């Protein structure tokens, strides 16, 4: 078994290797003056079981092309099996044709990974579980639920309520609500056009006097999250936590979230969160241990679903 | 252009052909004593643009194999292009891996259609829009929304509310709510295991004194729908309509729905509803005109999305 | 190594597992109210060498779709290799285009099996040996000849003759004739159209006073077999046995054969023959031992052809 | 439409072009000193419907590689569609695995043609009709029966009998027998091992005093045919004609057949029969007209099966 | 016919459309806050013959992913044929495995283009002509030679010599030498490692007193070109021109070239050269007319090679 | 591990097996009277790691088809992995489209090998290193440089010069020059048309009084090599050696080279050089040891590039 890391999230790769007590594979990745990437695998990988850790982080497209080149280099270097480990899957939200003549890019990414020679994919909390169906190769979709639920259970929140930021996330929120034993509320909000601007209309459910936890699969600019928080406060919510698996945190997310009325923002380290991105309200939970176990189990041919078998409702 | 029909929904095929003023393609489909299907295309189809109409109806697997054989026969008979017209897509709900070691069968169907030689797919209201990403071949996913919205608008329902039967359908329900100008409520209900038995827990939103319309993408046994209706009545709803695109109506659905407190059940004819399945409370809206237009536009290379461009929110 | 069984012939699967002293793999197969099949593999199969036993039995198309779903579920559950064990191959007689614009469905089945993810196929006595060429994946076509020849040798039939029921089966019959040391006769019979009705014209060869064994690869309704028997009797044959590898026995086969002038009907258990299908004149030879040995040899990388190396003339 | 010819049977290509009143496509085919073939298409073929005429003739493997290179050159020169016209299909008799660990080479050829880029295949009288199932691309298998039947009907043979040279060809012989209104006899002969040496054992059927026509799909060395003839004479046959679609005529076939007791040898020109191969007893029927019509119909999208619709029994 | 442009070289696309008197296809390309690209084709393209103009320009990987998404969007929008027009092919120099365990990325790009759905490729002056063999889809590799030769012929340079900057470019330089009627000299120079640093060793051939034109296929940083120029001056060359098809001009190329002893730098506009990149010594020849003609000929099914038939020696 | 040999170069296969102390795999290859090849693998190869040694030798196309049939037979006999060992790659010089509408046959060969089922390719000194990019399967391209350099170093040639026979081979010649510490000269020669006739124009570089070694990748008829030698002598060269990896030696090569002014001709045994081809001036270096080591390393999953890691400049 060999584990290589692209340039997307080296800290996560390091942490995973550490937990597996394995030395990270040597590999030179550099850019020529003409903006072309060169990947050179610097140790023998013939007949090896190879994993490449490369979540979708800024800059997204550079990271994607780098990953494809790494896979190609490893396959032509005769690796027996190459598993693309994508803790945050690229273009995960482009998973449907909700406008005419657009690309279902999450599916295109699956095609490109297969074309480059990937044999397996290991990912986490896909935006929609259907995305697993975009692949012909075997995939494992880990769930961060055990880590997140455990984080909130320790806090012993009283009088809590789980809030879904929109109707599309209601199912996910419902799963958290059930696990935490909290009621559910849903923002009845409308996205207008393709832009990130949203208009909150109403809250379905009774939130008054409650401590709200807003769950989503990812936080990007945090704009709609802050609007949700403001609406909740207007409706009498006492305290607001926000939680998402993937902390994309782009645009002015960091400043805006820190200055918002949200008390705590919880994400995992699937997306790289460098020091410059840390802010006081942010808690980062590590998925390294879960990925390390999954990689070990894949390598040894053991069941992976046992790692989250008590949380399968999150896969629905 | 040639249109053939399998044995799944001949009435719909007839209606579509009629609206296109086209004679249906001749094709013999029979079963040998050994349960093997024989398909014989009985007119020349070389270089023709062929459409096969075969939604998923009872018996589902027979219809599926019949469709695959028809596609194979047409391709090897040198049809230029074969479009599988699946108004109700087979195994549409098996679109994710929500238990370990199950098949994403909706994806498998896509693979089988491509393996048999289908060049395009034309379908309607997929259970999740991501299913379009299961295909490498071009697909068109029509929306029944214009037909359904128009049906309910004519009724001029006052004091209405749209009810989502579970958190997973909240997004769809929200789209109907918006189009009809009604508020939204959501059943916070839990499916236990793989069975069809459900346990309603709560209603999120205020339904008292309202006229409720429960929207879902399909009605199978109607069991959970009737439970939803009962819960709504307990919470003070005045009147209940149920509406779904696909009227699967299996098991004791017909008796149960007719005898239930639901006032009207509205479906379309994507799934064949023979005379034996009709009951007084049932309204069946025809999608034949929409499919006829889509087929014509595909054949002529015109835009299909214009047929439902005002209802793209239903594709989200 | 793991062996799973679909619902087609569980007795055969049980017998094979028993001879291999292996516990059958656990797997839930059920049908939802909407006629959709759910397959759930209930034990870990990662990196395992998996065999699925599923001959083509009634209902043929249900069994086929079930098999495809099982293969898909196993491949996506990361089985290392999936071998479809099809003791009776589906649509085996649809192996040529003997009418315009029909499907070579036996070839389509091969494509579907590969599309679903099968890595190998193990089958028995294909209707024509060319069908092996329909596959890109490795296949093994076992021959039941050793079992059948041994059965008839034990009987020490005197003054025997082997009869081919039509010109197309002459080669097969000739192989049996040679092995048993009997002369050969051929029915010069004509099928009219696609139906099962036939018109016997003549017997080529001298059958008078002989004990005839009519060999074919399968017995379906038995209709043409009984007509053959009647013609043979008219031409002075003393006694008639009928033998085929695959006992499809559909329609009124059981009643008709029992009541016919045929003395013994010999088949194997490739197709499931439940208690309700048993009748006094029927002898069922088991192929379980042969399949058990073949599966073991495939798993261990040993030669399979040695299992029938003395009967290769039957493969011609 | 453009028609190109390889070097295998230029006379046939010329004849086909003449009947279609079309100028043959210009194309340079040469061999370098290092035995490598160079194919250069010498006119623009972009978006053209191209046919390449190249039956399997001596030297077989040279002709095959030449064909593959021609297809590749034409596809990369942007031909819209390339149809490989193979009046005699290469390795047509290697269509089954009748010994362990051999190649079903007729299937391999199908794969190679598809890999090189062929879009269709047009061929004639495949050794077994199952070979059509080796292809994923559409194929047309013409039948020479109308030409051959017409030849023999004109002769008004009295007291004729059709003889199948072995049990495997009984079906084909039976079709000729039916069409000519003659009885049928079958040689019960055994091939020993892989060699061409055969041992005739017996004649099934009554041939005494008859005028026999021995039908096969091809004549290679003619060795077994001459043995058949000798046996027939011994059994009292008065006169023998031999007929086959494909006149491979290799080894000493010409001398041996001319000097044999066979009265007439009838073949078609699917395989090139140069002047050096002609001998007095040989009649060569031309298939050029049939191929010309088939090519025209394929090009225009008209039914091809109508060209032999009265002889479909030969396809069984 | 429809022509779309990505964001790589909009000026070239505009120029090509203008010469074809065709309106450029409407298409929205934008980036979300999370760095994901959205491509939305804004006009109907069903059954259209579509060309996308997107050479490899800075930022290379963004442009590549954008192109793949455009192709995917167009194919799923049912475009009949999508031609990727890549005047400068991405990763064109990564065309061999000259170190262990690297990717032949130019080949990977070909695979990705095919996986995304491209039907054809139109490109120019590939670094090595073998790269055409990386594709299974038809490709056209235009040659800029007619444009470049014509530019230098007009200058009527006396006493000229063509200089190859290294042994690997000797063949290309020889072709220019022949066409211009000049002698040839070659720099015997060595690249050390993967870096762009080179060490000139010697000049093969007699350059003294000559006017040198240094030809290469692309100019990147210009570093080695300037070293070549300095060495040439040391060996008595009077005047130096540098010419390349692809003006990549990265790093400090602009300043360094302008300040160098080189008199004129000639490139084409395959790579976008914005105003900020223009400098007095730079001459930019337009390839728009050649591409416009090629696109028109591809669309109409006319020969493309006639556009450079007098310069085929440059393809060797 | 099993090693099989086709009929192309049995001596090389024998030598490789000897160095690996392995018994050569048993395999019957014969030709039927009808010119069809039969390959029969005569030992069990299930789950084995199989290598087939078959360089491109006279007759080239026979050898190629034989190789494809062997691969097919081995794959369908369930070999785990089949590596085609092609010390001299077929059609290696047909690697580009230097004329309109020709085939890039070296790429076609790659496609055919993959279609037949090859899992890997092991070859040597491809005419251009880009050919490795023609494959999707892993390939290893060995370099004969260590063997050749060592041969010439032992000779301690004084006052040597390396001569490239044309501009296209300048890079290869430069690599030899560097390794031997000799200067470089290049023949500025022009091939006219497709023929082997060439016209030498000039020598770039100073050759007077030197001992020249002319390097090329292969020697075919030797015609242009002898012209080069004559020109060199005219320009004052004292002594000429010619060296190439692949000794194709076709046409009158043997006589012409022996009678020429060339002192020594050095080739390897990648191409079979039977006794009838040996001549006094010819030295044949064996590559068997290198191939034996490479095969062993591939089988054991060890690095292959270490076998020529000091000569990677030859791969550029």
Shortest Cα distance, chain C CAs vs residue D174, angstroms? 7
From C2, C75, C179, C189, the catalytic residue: C189
- The DSSP symbol for E108 reads H
Q: Using the beta-carbon criterion (under 8 Å), do F138 and A48 form an inter-chain contact?
A: no
Residues E301, D76: C-beta atoms closer than 8 Å: no
With 60 as the cut, is the pLDDT of residue F95 above it? yes
Q: Does any CB of chain F come closer than 8 Å to the CB of residue C138?
A: yes
Q: What is the structure's pLDDT at F196?
A: 52
Give the gap in angstroms from C-alpha E116 to the nearest C-alpha of chain B. 9
Residue C138: list chain F partners with CB under 8 A: 75-78
Instruction: Inspect the interface and report whether the beta carbons of B76 and D302 lie closer than 8 Å.
Output: no
Best D110, D121, D138, D309 member to test B by mutation, with max B CBs in 10 Å, is D138
CB-based contact A76 F301, cutoff 8 Å: no
Backbone angles phi, psi at E200, to 5 degrees: -75, 135
pLDDT at F188: 84
Q: Does F190 score more than 80 pLDDT? A: no
Task: Please answer yes or no on whether B315 and A96 come within 8 Å at the CB atom.
Answer: yes
Kindly determine whether residue E46 and residue B139, on different chains, have CB atoms separated by under 8 Å.
no
In chain F, whose CA is at the least distance from the CA of C302? Answer: F46
Picking from C100, C106, C132, the nearest residue to D97 by CB comes out as: C132
pLDDT > 70 fraction of chain C, expressed in percent and rounded: 96
- Which residues of chain C have a pLDDT value below 50? 193
Interface E:B, ≥3 CB–CB pairs < 8 Å: yes
F316 touching C (Cβ < 8 Å): no
User: Contact, A8 vs A57, CB < 8 A?
Assistant: yes
Query: Looking at the complex, does the CB of residue D116 fall below 8 Å from at least one CB of chain F?
Result: yes
Q: Is the peptide bond before B217 cis (omega within 30 degrees of 0)?
A: no
The low-confidence residues of chain B, meaning pLDDT below 50, are 193
* D194 or E277, greater pLDDT: E277
Burial of F11 (0-12, 13-18, 19+ CB in 10 A): middle
Residues of E assigned a catalytic role: 189
Which one of F120, F139, F303 has the shortest CB-CB distance to A44? F303
Residue of D2, D48, D75, D189 marked catalytic: D189
Residue to mutate among C121, C296, C301, C315, with most F CBs inside 10 A, is C301
Verify whether the Cβ–Cβ distance C34 to B250 is below 8 Å: yes
**What pLDDT sits at residue E191?**
54
Closest CA in chain A for residue C115: A136
Instruction: Give the model's pLDDT for residue C195.
Output: 53
Instruction: For residue C46, report the phi and psi dihedrals to the nearest 5 degrees.
Output: -55, 130
- Return the active site residues of F: 189
Is the overall model pTM greater than 0.90, yes or no? yes
- Cβ neighbors of B107 (< 8 A, separation 6 or more) are A133, A134, B95, B131, B134
**Selected residue of C28, C60, C101, C253 to mutate for chain B interface (largest B Cβ count, 10 A):** C101
Say how many Å lie between the first and final Cα of chain E, rounded.
32
What is the b/e burial string over D33-65, where b = at least 16 CB atoms within 10 angstroms of the residue's CB?
bbbbbbbbbeebbbebbbbbbbbbbbebbbbbb
pLDDT value at position D202? 82
User: Which residues in chain F are contacts of E188 at CB distance < 8 A?
Assistant: 174, 177, 183-184
- Name the residue in chain D with its Cα closest to that of F29: D102
User: Which of D64, D73, D196 lies nearest to residue F103, judging by beta carbons?
Assistant: D73
Q: Give the max Cα distance, chain D.
A: 62
Among the partner-chain residues F138, F303, F304, the one whose CB lies closest to the CB of A75 is: F138
**What are the residue ranges of helices labelled H in chain E?**
10-20, 60-76, 105-116, 145-155, 170-180, 223-234, 253-258, 288-300
| pLDDT reported for residue C202 | 82
Q: For every residue of chain A, which 3-state class applies, written as one string?
A: CEEEECCCCHHHHHHHHHHHCCCCCCEEEEECCCCCEEEEECCCCCCCEEEEECCCCCCHHHHHHHHHHHHHHHHHCCCCEEEEEECCCCCCCCCCCCCCCECCHHHHHHHHHHHHCCCEEEEECCCCHHHHHHCCCCEEEECCHHHHHHHHHHHCCCCEEEEECCHHHHHHHHHHHHHHCCCEEEEEEEECCCCCCEEEEEEECCCCCCEEEEEEEEECCCHHHHHHHHHHHHCCCCEEEEEEEEECCCCCHHHHHHHCCCCEEEEECCCCCCHHHCCCCEEEECCHHHHHHHHHHHHHCCCCHHHHHHHHHHHC
C and A touch per CB criterion (3+ pairs under 8 A) = yes
Query: Distances in Å between the alpha carbon of A107 and those of A64, A89, B111, D160?
Result: 14, 11, 14, 67
* Pairwise CB contact (< 8 Å): A44 & F302: yes
Taking only the tens of pLDDT, chain A with its 316 residues reads 999 999 999 999 999 999 999 999 999 999 999 999 999 999 999 999 999 999 999 999 999 999 999 999 999 999 999 999 999 999 999 999 999 999 999 999 999 999 999 999 999 999 999 999 999 999 999 999 999 999 999 999 999 999 999 999 999 999 999 999 999 999 987 655 455 565 656 898 999 999 999 999 999 999 989 999 999 999 999 999 999 999 999 999 999 999 999 999 999 999 999 999 999 999 999 999 999 999 999 999 999 999 988 888 888 7
Asked if residue F193 has pLDDT above 50, the reply is no
Is D190 in CB contact (< 8 Å) with chain C? yes
What are the chain D neighbours of C130 within 8 Å (beta carbons)?
95-96, 104, 128, 130-131, 133-134
Query: What are B2's two structure tokens?
Result: 């040639």
State which residue of chain D sits closest to B79, comparing Cα positions: D301
What's the rounded mean pLDDT across residues F179-191? 85
Burial A197-212 (b: 16+ CB within 10 A, else e): ebebbebbbebeebbb
Question: Which positions 276-315 of A are in contact with B (Cβ < 8 Å)?
Answer: 303, 305, 309, 312, 315
Q: Do chains A and B touch (3 or more CB pairs under 8 A)?
A: yes
CB within 8 Å: E65 and A64: yes
- Kindly report the three-state secondary structure assignment for every residue of chain D: CEEEECCCCHHHHHHHHHHCCCCCCCEEEEECCCCCEEEEECCCCCCCEEEEECCCCCCHHHHHHHHHHHHHHHHHCCCCEEEEEECCCCCCCCCCCCCCCECCHHHHHHHHHHHHCCCEEEEECCCCHHHHHHCCCCEEEECCHHHHHHHHHHHCCCCEEEEECCHHHHHHHHHHHHHHCCCEEEEEEEECCCCCCEEEEEEECCCCCCEEEEEEEEECCCHHHHHHHHHHHHCCCCEEEEEEEEECCCCCHHHHHHHCCCCEEEEEECCCCCHHHCCCCEEEECCHHHHHHHHHHHHHCCCCHHHHHHHHHHHC
Q: Is A76 on the interface with F (CB under 8 A)?
A: yes
DSSP state, residue F60:
H
Kindly determine whether residue F186 and residue E173, on different chains, have CB atoms separated by under 8 Å: no
How far CA F22 is from CA of C191, D101, E3, F296, F302, in Å, comes to 57, 21, 61, 11, 19
Q: Is there a contact between C301 and F46 if contact means CB atoms under 8 Å apart?
A: yes
Q: Does B26 touch chain D (CB under 8 A)?
A: no
Residue of B nearest to E115 (CA): B136
Q: How many angstroms separate the CA of residue F186 from the nearest CA in chain E?
A: 8
Q: Name residues 208-247 of chain A within 8 A of C (Cβ).
A: none
Q: Tell me: the pLDDT tens digits for E44-97?
A: 999 999 999 999 999 999 999 999 999 999 999 999 999 999 999 999 999 999
């Amino acid at each position: 078994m060999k584990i290589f890391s692209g340039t997307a999230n080296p800290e996560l790769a390091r942490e995973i290797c550490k937990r597996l007590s394995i030395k990270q594979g040597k590999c030179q990745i550099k850019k020529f003056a003409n903006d072309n990437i060169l990947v050179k695998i610097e140790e023998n990988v013939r007949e090896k079981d190879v994993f490449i850790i490369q979540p979708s982080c800024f800059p997204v497209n550079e990271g994607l092309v780098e990953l494809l080149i790494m896979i190609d280099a490893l396959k032509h270097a005769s690796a027996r099996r190459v598993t693309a480990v994508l803790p945050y899957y690229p273009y995960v939200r482009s998973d449907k044709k909700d406008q005419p003549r657009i690309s279902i890019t999450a599916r295109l990414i699956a095609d490109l990974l297969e074309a480059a020679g990937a044999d397996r994919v290991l990912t986490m909390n896909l935006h929609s579980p259907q995305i697993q169906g975009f692949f012909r190769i075997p995939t494992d979709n880990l769930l961060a639920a055990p880590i997140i639920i455990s984080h909130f259970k320790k806090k012993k929140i009283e009088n809590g309520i789980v809030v879904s930021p929109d109707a599309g996330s209601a199912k996910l929120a419902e799963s958290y609500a059930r696990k935490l034993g909290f009621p559910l509320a849903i923002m009845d909000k409308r996205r207008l056009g393709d832009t990130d601007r949203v208009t909150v209309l109403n809250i379905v459910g009774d939130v008054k006097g409650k401590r709200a936890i807003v769950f989503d699969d990812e936080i990007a600019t945090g704009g709609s999250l802050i609007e949700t928080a403001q609406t909740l406060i207007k409706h009498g919510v006492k305290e607001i936590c926000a939680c998402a698996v993937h902390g994309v945190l782009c645009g002015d997310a960091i400043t805006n979230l820190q200055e918002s009325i949200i008390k705590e923002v919880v994400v995992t380290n699937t997306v790289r969160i460098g020091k410059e991105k840390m802010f006081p309200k942010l808690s980062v939970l590590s998925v390294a241990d879960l990925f390390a176990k999954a990689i070990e189990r894949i390598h040894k041919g053991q069941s992976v679903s046992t790692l989250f078998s008590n949380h399968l409702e999150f896969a629905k």
